[in-house]
Amino acid sequence: MEQTSDPGSTQPEPDSSRTDRTEKTWWQRYIGFPLIWKFGIALVLGVIAGLIVGPPIATIEPLGDLFLRLLQMLVIPLVLVTLISGAASAAPSSLGRVGGKVFGFYLLTSVVAISLGLGLGLLIGPGTGLDMPSTGEDPEKAPPLIETFLNIFPENIFQALAEGNVLAVIFVAVIIGFAVGTMAYSEDARLRELAEPVKKLADAGCEVMFKIVRGVLEYGPIGVFALIAVVVGETGTDSLLPMLNLTGTVYLGIALMIVAYSLLLLAFKVNIARFFGAAKDPMLTAYVTRSSSGTLPVTMRAAEKLGIREGTYGFSLPLGATINMDGTALYVGASTLFVANVSGVDLSFVQLLEAVAVGVLASIGTAGVPGAGLIMLSLVISQAGLPFAAVALVAGVDALLDMARTMCNVTGDLVVTRIVAQTEGQVEEPSRVRKRSRSRR
Ligand code: ASP
């Protein structure tokens, strides 16, 4: 992938080209240029193109969709192989403890996030002075939570894989990994022998998938440019201006969440410069793709760079991409107050507490795909007895809010994974990580 010379050519090169061989080709230069810069430049150019061209920029949407598809294509096989490999090598007794910690931290950060969203909403008062839109479509209804729960247990494993049902795939991969792990630790030599090739296959699968992720990321800048240009071109400044208050509140809240994550990491003695050095790629990918699930391959790659062992991140990241949505919880909090303000309703303290509870549950039920949070917002709005019409105003700028909240969702998953790995002694030394990543190039 990284070579441009014709692999079939066996001719010795003429003398005159000897210097060319030491000079890098444009492709090698491109590959060597840090990803964050390539993405950053694409992002800025995308904003400029979107502002200049406006809505017609939507014609380049397929370039962005291609990036999303390439990432999405990797999610299910990656979740499957990393989880099987991780669960098979972890001691069966530790799985429950790690799972408990991951759930506990996910819940804690979500409660903090929605409280922050509501708190900032009360302080800033987004939406005061805005008129309620006279018309507005009723947003889609969210599926009942019990249905989401039952869907974790697939009737048919292959259907779950084919439909990309991440929670069901997590369940299937954990039980397969658990079974292989039990065989590997068994007294029976025949079972131990049979477990070995399955583990090796899963380990090899992880390496193959990461190689492909690296290749897909090289296409990333084109995808980033198109995705951002389309959002900016379609949102435009007209719909943004009256909504600046809500947009500002959500962005400020997310900045404060990042500060809260940093404090949490520091409390567990994690080097935050190193953490964010690795986290920046998934953060930026999440910002432009607006999909936690789609970003998962990049988040897993960052976890590898941080030296977190597969046994921990293979479980907690796919789970987080599906159930841990701190940014969405914060957005739901701030937007609920926005809707209340636009509709001229004063929420009581009890109603606010209800919004926290329903908002956290809603964020757990939110899928890691673009725009899912808007559906969850309507669930909370209807629970709070507020009119739907104002949700239409939020929908106008939802893409911009979705970018920030998805970035926060992904960061939260990685923070919790890093902390749990720390408490479990599941983090490799930086020197070993560097050696491994060099061998992966
Ligand atoms: N797009 C978000 C995510 O993938 C979900 C949401 O819409 O809030 O994490």
Which of 298, 360, 357 has the alpha carbon at shortest distance from 323?
Answer: 360
Mutate to test the pocket of ligand 1, among 110, 283, 291, 398 (most ligand atoms within 8 A of CB): 291
Q: Tell me, using a 6 A CB cutoff, whether residue 398 lines ligand 1.
A: no
How deeply is 285 buried, as exposed, middle or buried, from its count of CB atoms within 10 A (0-12, 13-18, 19+)?
buried
One pLDDT digit (tens) per residue for the chain, 441 residues: 333 343 334 444 444 444 455 677 888 888 888 877 888 898 889 889 988 998 899 999 999 889 888 888 888 888 888 888 877 776 666 777 888 899 899 999 999 999 999 999 889 888 777 666 554 445 455 566 677 678 889 999 999 889 888 778 888 888 898 898 888 888 899 998 999 999 899 889 888 988 898 888 889 899 889 988 888 888 777 667 777 889 999 999 999 999 999 999 999 999 999 999 999 999 999 999 989 988 999 999 999 999 998 888 988 998 888 889 999 999 999 999 998 888 888 888 888 888 888 888 777 767 788 888 888 888 788 777 888 777 878 887 888 899 999 999 999 999 999 999 999 888 887 666 666 665 555
Torsion angle, alpha carbons of 272, 273, 276, 280, to 10 = 170
DSSP letter for each residue of 23-40: SPPHHHHHHHS-HHHHHH
Which of 248, 251, 223, 215 has the alpha carbon at shortest distance from 43?
Answer: 223
Which of 98, 76, 99, 95 has the alpha carbon at shortest distance from 172?
Answer: 76
Q: pLDDT tens, 386-412? A: 887 778 788 878 888 999 999 999 999
| Report field, pTM of the whole predicted structure over 0.75 | yes
Q: Which CATH superfamily is domain 54-440 in?
A: Sodium:dicarboxylate symporter (1.10.3860.10)
Q: Tell me, using a 6 A CB cutoff, whether residue 369 lines ligand 1.
A: yes
pLDDT of residue 166: 76
User: Which tokens sit at 372?
Assistant: 């899912």
Q: Tell me, using a 6 A CB cutoff, whether residue 405 lines ligand 1.
A: yes
Measure the CA angle with vertex 362, ends 101 and 340; round to 5°: 130
What is the CA(263)–ligand 1 centre distance, in A? 24
Instruction: Report how far residue 52's alpha carbon sits from residue 39's, in angstroms, rounded to the nearest whole number.
Output: 20
